[in-house]
Chains A and B, each alone.
Chain A
Amino acid sequence: MTAAKTLKIGLGIVVIAALIIVPMNFNRYGLFILSQWAVMTIAAMGLNLTLGYAGQVSLAQGAFVGIGAYTAAIMTSNGLPLIGALGVAIVLCFAIGWILGYPALRVQHHYLAFVTLAFSTLAFLVFRNEDWLTKGIYGISNIPRPEIFGYPTRRPLPFYYVCLGSLALVSLAVWWLIRSPWGRAFIALRENPVRALSLGIDTRRYTLMAFAIGSALGGVAGTLYAPLTQYVDPVPFHLSLSLDLLMMVIVGGSGFFFGPFLGAMIAVLLPEWLRFTQGYYLMLYAIAVIGLLIYSPTGILGILDRFISERRTKAASAQRAVAKAKLEVTP
């Protein structure tokens, strides 16, 4: 067990070091893609909390990324600091997510999917139509990148480190959250809400909380998205972003901590590697997702998990057999 743990920690350090060192000689575009991966991972982690841990379907995560992006775009182009925009986006998305959680108290599953889908479309309409605030279809351009401790991040590499650092902070926070009593309450909510209630968990509050925290992380991703692309218009926050984020969570493995990392990697990087298929890659992606879901509805990490637990059971039963044989020999 300890050997496995050392291996895990070692692997973690290698991956983190690689994420810091390898991109140093990437070109502008490669850095953009990697930064995008970090941003989408944050959004997918939020959705993973709502869907994977608390079991509440949401088709509105893309809308929260949009709300965050517009908050950042509007505030920073008016000269306010990005960190202030981040605070506003978190509070705003948390509050809206909390309100959006109310239908979840009444309805489940597909109805919830439809409510959040409706919200997503409504948010898109607001982005597109409220010209006075969002500049409508023309979008907001020339969004400045922030200065971190007086150090400008205008160039792609420093800004990539901003995204990576944010991802690290969010990961730590989520890691802590799912190991806290709250995280356990979320899982209880997913596994058996009635039993959770009978054990004294305030399911009402935790359902709303799952929505609110998940949405707030969507907002965090949005505040990074705006300075990353330096241009915000309604198109990227269409319903399809919410669907994409949902696919990322599902493909990676919903309810697994590392699921969103993997899912976002596949959704963001795979199109780049599959360039040679030209326009066909989304079709192939859709077919692959369906195939994966048929084989393993808990995603890629689900397959891994199944494989590991099978091996563990095998090892355990082998040990039992040995122990039993010893017992039979000794007397």
Chain B
Amino acid sequence: MSNLLDLLIAGLATGAIYAIVAVGFTLLWQTSQTINFAQGEFVMLPAFLMLAVMHAGAPFWLAILIGIALSLLLLGLGFKMLLVDPMLRHGVLPLAIATMALAIGIKEAAKQFWSAEASPFPSIIPGGDITIFGRVVALQSIGVLVLAILAVLGLTTLLNRTSIGHQMQAAAQNPTVARIIGVPVERMILLTFLINAFLVALASLLITPIYLAKFSNGEVLGQAAFIAAIVGGFNQVRGAIAGGLLIGVVDNLSAAYVSTQYRAAVPLVLLIAIILFRPQGMLGRPEERTV
């Protein structure tokens, strides 16, 4: 029983990171029909940027700031201007395929310019354990969970409580009408790309100390985020959050109770089941099927 609780906490911690990544993924889909197959690589890259800055002699806090700034520039602005904008007119599928090519490119770049070996990455959360209700819990897990929850709360507040958030939702739901009532749709779309870039940088910062910085990290992370987004509901921010937490917990529990060899299979089976029986996801609205 005690084991179960530990697994749940660890699962929620990784799940919260998946949730952050999945939220960014759904935001891109909602505002600009971008299925970002490179989302996992987007999470892998900022850690390498930060490592590179630290390598140049900067302290950790400065490296984090520069890393986030570079992510906003490359993965937000650059991604939108250089890849999404020119590809969008060709349709959803060619754009998705272009992001697959981008994923390969980013992965190879990390491997070539940094290293094929895993590098350690410092944690922003101090190590050690704390005792809650008489139980020993890794501070790392709690810290990740708290930071992720703060990020998600901040984002939902931005989307639901502020004028900018309302404008972003309007731009996502019906760009034509939004434009008519004076919402700067283009700027809102750019803003979602920047938010996504920030979210992946944050996720990178939280998950890399656990997984180590490795060029192939993106594969696992990207798949977890896709599955979270689809299981939760592709067109709902809260769906992506619920999906992320669920996948994190399912992943950890299946590693313990199903088999370590097939732990990766359980979320995939869940994904196939959801797509077959409830394609809109747990919390999503059905989308009209385009023909």
- Chain A residues packing against B (C-beta within 8 Å): 57, 102-103, 106-111, 113-115, 117-119, 121-122, 125, 128-129, 192-194, 239-240, 243, 246-247, 250, 279-280, 282-283, 285-287, 289-290, 293-294, 297
Contact = CB atoms under 8 A, between A and B. Distances in A.
Given A110-B96, A121-B264, 11 more contacts: A114-B275, A115-B276, A118-B227, A118-B272, A122-B265, A280-B112, A286-B105, A289-B101, A290-B105, A294-B87, A294-B98
B138 to A, nearest CB: 28
A107 B275 contact: yes
Nearest to A288: B101
B102 A286 contact: yes
Contact of B268 (A102, A110, A121, A128): A121
Size range of the chain B interface in the assembly: 35 or more
A114 B276 contact: no
Contact of B35 (A110, A119, A122): A110
Interface string B84-128: 001100111110111011101100110110000000000000000
Nearest to A240: B104
A176 B278 CA distance: 39
A280 B289 CA distance: 41
Contact of B112 (A57, A279, A287): A279
Contacts of B269: 118, 122
A159 to B, nearest CB: 30
Contacts of A57: 93
Interface in B259-291: 261-262, 264-265, 268-269, 271-272, 275-276, 279, 289-291
Majority-rule SS of A interface residues: helix
Interface of B: 35, 83, 86-87, 90-94, 96-98, 100-102, 104-105, 108-109, 111-112, 219, 223, 226-227, 230, 261-262, 264-265, 268-269, 271-272, 275-276, 279, 289-291
Contact of A239 (B92, B108, B219): B219
A111 B35 CA distance: 10
26 contacts: A103-B272, A106-B276, A106-B279, A107-B279, A108-B289, A110-B92, A114-B226, A118-B227, A118-B269, A118-B271, A118-B272, A125-B264, A192-B291, A243-B100, A246-B97, A246-B100, A247-B100, A279-B108, A280-B108, A283-B112, A286-B102, A287-B105, A289-B98, A293-B87, A293-B98, A294-B87
Contact of A297 (B35, B94, B112, B290): B94
A210 B7 CA distance: 43
B265 A125 contact: yes
A110 B272 CA distance: 13
Nearest to B291: A194
B70 to A, nearest CB: 18
Contacts of A283: 105, 108-109, 112
Contacts of A129: 261-262
A280 B223 CA distance: 25
